[in-house]
Amino acid sequence: MSTYPKVLVALSDPTRRALFEKLRARPRSVGELASELPVSQPAVSQHLRVLREAGLVEWQALGTRRVYRPRADGVRALRAYVESLWDDVLEAFKLAQDEAEAGKPGHE
Amino acid sequence: MPESTAESRLGEPQDEGLFIEKEVTVLGTVESAFQRFTEGIGSWWPLATHAVSPDDADTVIFQTWVGGRIYERQKDGAEATWGTVTAWDPPRRFAMTWHPGGDAGSATRLEVQFDEVEEGTRLRLRHTGWEVLGEEATETCRQYHKGWDPVLARFALGSGGPH
């Protein structure tokens, strides 16, 4: 799980998360991604580079175009991300719920 | 028995091939926990770190009926949908689609169950529906599934992630 921190950083950015979600739906070129999101083409390329370095996406040459798609190994990285998401969320929930309940009459 | 749960899923169709299951036990009745987790989500969800737009997110709203949306409202009034309620059985269980930052076509599925235990309420969260990752990824999921079981078991035993 050496890619774990890189993946978290890569997916901590909303634009990159949106790009990754798009590619999960189907492979797309940089141009397509730029036309579907309010982000310039150079910015898309930059974000894709981060996602690629985190092992989340890869590209394939299709004629003169580069088509990006989620990388198989990226699934493992994604899993680590989702695991940590629910760990954080449930921890926050437990904190709030326990605190509220402990404050109720009848509790120490 | 969380370990055996993961074990028993190995032979199942790809739909269930990859799933994430988490448990937490909290104080209070199932009614209280269910209410806080759903209707009261805006009071505890860690928006600063987990939102479509962490910098702009103002609150989370949970519409408590089948077909209701769970969405983040941003400071300028814009909304970002996280998912839609697909099953509503208070105070025991609810299910929803999960696609924050993506479109409904790439939604995974979330199911949250609340059970009474001696200490209070046990919440069990299951995140499934990873087949939306696409054929290639799903194939990989199946290959990796066996390798993931020990990892899952470790999480299920509560040692937690690398924090």
Q: What is the 3-state secondary structure (H, E, C) of B82-111?
A: EEEEEEEECCCEEEEEECCCCCHHHCEEEE
pTM of the model: 0.66
Higher pLDDT, B49 or A4: B49
Distance from CA of B66 to the nearest CA of A (A): 23
Range in A38-42, A80-84, B54-58, B75-79 the model is least confident about: A80-84
Predicted pLDDT at B99: 83
Distance from CA of A94 to the nearest CA of B (A): 6
pLDDT confidence bin for B5, thresholds 50/70/90? very low
Most A CBs within 10 Å, among B119, B133, B152, to test the A interface:
B133
Check pLDDT > 90 for residue B85.
yes
Predicted pLDDT at B157: 32
Check pLDDT > 70 for residue A18.
yes
Predicted pLDDT at B18: 62
Predicted pLDDT at A55: 85
**CB proximity under 8 Å: B 83-122 to A:** 99-103, 105-106, 120
A6 touches chain B (CB under 8 A): no
Q: What is the 3-state secondary structure (H, E, C) of chain B?
A: CHHHHHHHCCCCCHHHCCCEEEEEEECCCHHHHHHHHCCCHHHCCCCCCCCCCCCCEEEEEECCCCCCEEEEEECCCCEEEEEEEEEEECCCEEEEEECCCCCHHHCEEEEEEEEEECCEEEEEEEEECHHHHCHHHHHHHHHHHHHHHHHHHHHHCCCCCCC
Residue in chain B closest to A106 (alpha carbons) equals B28
Q: Give me B50's structure tokens.
A: 């987990």
Check pLDDT > 70 for residue B25.
yes
Q: Do the Cβ atoms of A21 and B106 come within 8 Å?
A: yes
